[in-house]
Structure 1
Amino acid sequence: MTSKLLTALLLGSSMLATSGAAFAEDVTLTIESWRNDDSQIWQEKLIPAFEAKNPGIKVVFAPSAPTEYNAALNAKLDAGSAGDLVSCRPFDASLDLYNKGKLADLTTLPGMENFSDVAKSAWTTDDGKATFCVPMASVIHGFIYNKDAFDKLGITPPATEDEFFAALDKIKEDGTYTPMAMGTKDLWEAATMGYQNIGPNYWHGEEGRLALLKGEQKLTDPQWVEPFATLAKWKPYLGDGFEAQTYPDSQNLFTLGRAAIYPAGSWEISVFNAQVDFKMGAFPPPVKKAGDTCYISDHTDIGMGLNAASKHADQAKTFLSWVASPEFATIYANALPGFFSLNSTPVKMEDPLAQEFVSWRDKCKSTIRSTYQILSRGTPNLENETWVESANVINGTETPEAAAKKLQDGLDSWYKPAK
């Protein structure tokens, strides 16, 4: 072999080796998120599980402060410096990013078939034709109760409204506990843990919510006024000074063992687990009468999308398909009890209180909060107005009928249902 040929062969093999190394170089994906409280879960559980099955793809979780996330993300997307993967807030903030071409269409992404239309509703276009984020988790509403208090007073978790008020009467009569821990000072509790918690049993979940969107029902119809009338009956059970009681006050009242029932969102589970020294249980919103179909607010909370300008779209889609998998659902939901997988494959929860909440999906129909999709885009904002009116009704400063009329009049002033 001539020295020239040998040199050529060596040169060729070194070029091949170099190009092979370049080809095999790891791709790094960056996740944008506002959930800086769960960084540890991503770094210790989720990312290692993905990387173990996908050599060549590295993932970095890079959250912003929750209050700064929307502005920071928009600035990065405009500057071309945003991560490949974008944690999606529900509804309009993410829809706006999609409409501006900042989030990719994920309708045909493998794994998207694992989610129901309700699960995808927070990240689907108004016409229902495109979905732009993989649903990750929801929060479920119901009531958390002090099991020790119930046992002491001989109360079983109520299934109907009559049983619910009978239990409250018994707790009040005994005098050891405030029957129910909820204040109206911060307003949102009255709507979120009050009206939106019990309301779906009246307006029949998605049936009523979609009818409201289409203009086929109004907030002045009986099924929308009745939950306000029920809320008005809560007043005698909320304890002295509930009108000045803040959200942290309500949490403390319950965790210190001074209240028997807490109208709840499931996000409280991990907070309460760390603070209480009594046994807890949970029950879904009581139905009006025995035998009625039950409905739960199973509200879409967080998803994940693809930055339309990502240089690593294929690898990012591989990651998103994994986020859509039962494996991701199981790890995520158990690492964050109270944030439930939206995947159609049931996830067995290790935390008993979380398992109680998620078990309601098997017997009740899921819906989302009635004000969140489309109906809070205008002024007055229906979500914020519902906070005010729910608090007014509980405080006794407004009748259920007047509150409902105010909400419908406000909605009529700007919202014209699509025909």
Structure 2
Amino acid sequence: MTRPFRLALLTTTLLAGAAQAQEPVTLTIESWRNDDLAIWNDVIIPAFEAQHPDINVEFAPTAPAEYNAALNSKLQAGSAGDIITCRPFDASLELFNNGQLADLSDLPAMANFSDVAKSAWQTDDASATFCVPMASVIHGFIYNRTAFEELGLEEPTTVDEFFAVLDAIQEDGTYIPMAMGTNDQWEAATMGYQNIGPNYWKGEEGRQALISGTQKLTDPQWVQPYEQLARWKDYLGDGFEAQTYPDSQNLFTLGRAAIFPAGSWEISVFTPQIAGAFEMGAFPPPVPAEGDTCYISDHTDIGIGMNAATPNPEAARTFLDWVGSPEFANLYGNALPGFFPLSNAEVTLEDPLAQEFISWRDECESTIRSTYAILSRGTPNLENETWNASANVIRGTETPADAAARLQQGLDSWYTPAQQ
């Protein structure tokens, strides 16, 4: 082989190697949030790729109802994407226990999240964290600010003030005081019991005590939220028993109801529907008495992790570390009003109602829904039973004490710490 030929061959080989080294890696994201496709493609992914031109990202969502089954099939077949969007608690924990999600405990960005934020994507003993927390939803009350101004009402801060406001709206007669039905049951628990309850059981203190078995659902702090819910019946309007969740949404957005017990996800739903017909405001769940510490359900909703079998672990970790950054928190929080970044980073939201919700983190202690971690793994399922109990209490077909006793009896039947 002549020297010029050897040099030419070597040069060709080096150039080919360099081209191969510079070829971008492509990461695929699995998700159930198919409504987010444009946001990821137009806002989030371009921001990441501008900083990491060697990593391409593709967002490939599945319909929400099909996501769990489709993802499990892909993981078992070895065809799942590099990045896995994580549902909170047991569904993702099972994937981690099956070796399908990687341990991300040592990811530098994990330092940007509180223990509560990480709790939805950790092992029970918190020894491993397998998804980066992305966003939560916050519970409170959205109200028709225009109606409040017409009636000379102010945002209530205590339970007594709350019922005084409801009485005033009822007496005036122009508006249904509060839009909530019990037909679908889940909202009675999610926007009812889990909304106001943390102020009674003191957020994480009570939730952790229930898990440890040192508190029971029959203790006063767990029964008192039901006692408040029982009083809601008189303010929900005629026929609330048959009223569906969409019915309640329509009552509020059409301006017929003054208050909506809410999750913050309603912000992006209500805003275009109201379209300037009236102004919205929001207030956190009123505390039992003046001077009490306030607690909010700042519920972990969505995280993102790494397929343990990805062929691109380094690129995947680079992307996930960026998802844990302040830059991502601000991008995501403003792209999806009502879904709040879980990072400790300072986030300024452009949507005024979303900013109002997130400001409560500075005033109140955050917790998550009491039934989501550990306590709904058995039969009867505490989460589903809480739906039914909350709806029954509001309807008046079950007393607060009876509802609590039934729930505790069901929990005792399978959950060992609760039997102590």
TM-score range, shorter chain: over 0.9
Matched residue, 2:311? 311
Letter aligned with residue 193 of structure 1: M
Q: Which residue of 1 is the match for residue 361 of structure 2?
A: 361
Structure 2: gaps spanning 5 or more residues: none
CA drift at 1:137: 0.2
Runs of at least 5 residues in structure 1 that lack an aligned partner in the other structure: none
Mapping for residues 148-159 of structure 1, pairs under 5 Å? 148-159=146-157
Query: What does 1:43-54 correspond to in 2, within 5 Å?
Result: 43-54=41-52
The one-letter code of the counterpart of 1:384 is: N
- How far, CA to CA, are the matches of 1:383 and 1:10 in structure 2? 70
Residue 128 of structure 1, CA deviation: 1.0
SS in 2 for 1:234: helix
Letter in 2 for 1:410: G
In structure 2, the partner of 1:175 is 173
CA distance in 2, matches of 1:327, 1:66: 27
Tell me the residue number matched to 2:214. 216
- The letter of the residue matching 1:83 is G
Corresponding residue SS for 2:416 = coil
Counterparts of 2:121 and 2:54, CA distance in 1: 29
Q: Deviations over 1:248-297 (max 9, x none)?
A: 00000000000000000000001100011210000000001111000000
Aligned pairs, number: 417
Identify the match of residue 128 of structure 2 among 127, 130, 136. Answer: 130
Normalization by structure 2: what TM-score?
A: 0.99
Partner residue of 1:195? 193
Cα distance in 2 for partners of 1:15, 1:152 equals: 78
Cα distance in 1 between the residues matched to 2:264 and 2:363: 17
Which of 256, 259, 263 is equivalent to 1:258?
Answer: 256
Give, in whole Å, the separation in 2 of the partners of 1:291 and 1:334: 33
* Counterpart in the other structure of 1:301: 301
Letter in 2 for 1:328: F
1:239 maps to which residue? 237
CA distance in structure 2 between the aligned counterparts of 1:33 and 1:346, rounded to whole angstroms: 26
- Corresponding position of 1:185: 183
Alignment of 1:325-404 (within 5 A): 325-404=325-404
| Matches of 2:327 and 2:192, distance apart in 1 | 34
- Quick one: distance in 2 between partners of 1:216 and 1:362? 29
1:320 aligned partner: 320
Partner SS, residue 28 of structure 2: strand
Distance between the aligned counterparts of 1:215 and 1:226, measured in 2?
19
Q: In 2, Cα distance between the equivalents of 1:208 and 1:162?
A: 23
| Other-structure match for 1:412 | 412
Q: How far apart are the structure 1 equivalents of 2:49 and 2:126?
A: 33
Q: Secondary structure at the match of 2:123?
A: coil
Which amino acid is 1:76 matched to? K
Separation of aligned partners in 1, 2:416 and 2:48: 45
Q: Report what 2:158 is aligned to.
A: 160
Match of residue 139 from structure 2: 141
TM-score by length of 1: 0.99
> What's 2:14 paired with?
16
Equivalent position of 2:97 in the other structure: 99
2:116 maps to which residue? Answer: 118
Provide the rounded CA distance (Å) in 2 between the counterparts of 1:300 and 1:369: 9
RMSD over aligned CA atoms reads: 0.9
1:76 paired residue number: 74
Q: Secondary structure at the match of 1:111?
A: helix
Deviating 4+ runs (over 3 angstroms): none
Deviation at 1:417, TM superposition (A): 2.0
